[in-house]
């Protein structure tokens, strides 16, 4: 069975994934990039036994792959940016294969600045991306293989798709709460996941503390600088690898975005931002 770590891109999913991998898959809570391999991204080609040559082929195999995971009779954390929904009648997931989900949401104004860095986009390009209801992601290194195809849609559609579904128990976490109230927010996450996996609901305080200490943004940024990080993206524009861990708490849209862009985001996503108390 699967516990999804879901989010729109650049919303803090990797931070949660790093913490969970350090807490559940290390002996002492010390994080390493190697541990992230325990929490894979879905979909990607390692879950399929053949090359998928179209979006239709990819979507018809989502549940086939998840059925194989269920048959292993283990709980797996899987990261995804896919919306909760279906492509031409092919569901992304169902309660049959899903034990629960954690959805990480972030102020879209700061998401946009991170998208600009990660995907080498201008403000206008990033604004177009975050509002595109047809937006998808796939491995650009293998254009003929759709195994990694994710339909992310817009920031609002992505969030609403997971929020409005009623069939899967989902914990919603704000990136800003991880940043400003780290201990309590990660405690909420562990209490949620421990209950799902039927683990004794007692948090190992020493391991918990160490997992937090070794997955702060500054530690991860320094670790990437020293060791590299295989999830960093190559920029076609300048021929360089873009740092995955970029600004952290210095990512302040007020200093980085034009007022016109900020106003556009607030108008586009007014309902969701007000609900989340971003406005």
Q: What is the pLDDT of residues 13-23, one digit of tens each?
A: 999 999 999 99
CATH code (residue 163): 3.40.50.300
- Residue 241 resides in a domain: no
Question: What is the per-residue pLDDT for 142?
Answer: 66
What is the domain count for the chain? Answer: 1
Question: What is the per-residue pLDDT for 130?
Answer: 96
Q: What is the pTM of this model?
A: 0.93
Q: Domain residues for 6?
A: 2-109+133-232
- Residue 254 resides in a domain: no
- Residue 124 resides in a domain: no
- Residue 149 resides in a domain: yes
- Residue 249 resides in a domain: no
* Cβ–Cβ < 8 Å for 134, 123: no
Closest CA to 87 of 41, 26, 43: 43
- Residue 194 resides in a domain: yes
The kind and range of the H/E element at 103 are strand 98-105
- Residue 32 resides in a domain: yes
* Cβ–Cβ < 8 Å for 147, 60: no
Q: For the chain, list residues with pLDDT below 50.
A: none
Question: What is the per-residue pLDDT for 118?
Answer: 77
- Residue 260 resides in a domain: no
Average pLDDT, the chain: 90
Spell out the residues 6+ positions from residue 274 whose beta carbon is closer than 8 angstroms to its own: none
Question: What is the per-residue pLDDT for 247?
Answer: 60
The kind and range of the H/E element at 127 are helix 123-130
Specify the 3-state DSSP secondary structure of 171: strand
Residue-level length of the chain = 279
């Amino acid at each position: 069975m699967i516990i999804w770590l879901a989010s729109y891109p650049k919303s803090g999913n990797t931070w949660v994934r790093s913490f969970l991998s350090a807490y559940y898959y290390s002996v002492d809570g010390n994080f390493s990039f190697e541990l992230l391999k325990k929490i894979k991204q879905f979909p990607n080609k390692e879950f399929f036994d053949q090359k998928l040559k179209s979006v239709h082929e990819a979507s018809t195999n989502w549940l086939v792959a998840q059925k194989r995971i269920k048959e292993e009779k283990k709980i797996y954390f899987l990261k995804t940016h896919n919306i909760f929904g279906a492509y031409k009648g092919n569901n992304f997931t169902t309660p049959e294969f899903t034990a629960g989900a954690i959805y990480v949401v972030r102020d879209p104004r700061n998401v946009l600045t991170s998208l600009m860095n990660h995907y080498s986009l201008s403000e206008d390009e990033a604004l177009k991306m975050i509002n595109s209801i047809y937006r998808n992601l796939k491995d650009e290194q293998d254009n003929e293989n759709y195994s990694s195809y994710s339909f992310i849609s817009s920031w609002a559609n992505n969030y609403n798709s997971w929020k409005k579904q009623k069939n899967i128990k989902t914990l919603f976490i704000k990136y800003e709460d991880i940043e400003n109230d780290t201990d309590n927010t990660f405690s909420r996450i562990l209490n949620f996941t421990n209950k799902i996996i039927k683990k004794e609901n007692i948090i190992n305080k020493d391991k918990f503390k160490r997992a937090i200490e070794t997955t702060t943004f500054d530690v991860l940024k320094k670790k990437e600088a020293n060791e590299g990080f295989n999830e960093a993206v190559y920029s076609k524009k300048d021929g360089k690898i873009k740092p995955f861990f970029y600004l952290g708490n210095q990512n302040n849209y007020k200093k980085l975005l034009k007022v016109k862009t900020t106003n556009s985001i607030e108008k586009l996503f007014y309902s969701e931002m007000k609900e989340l108390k971003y406005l």
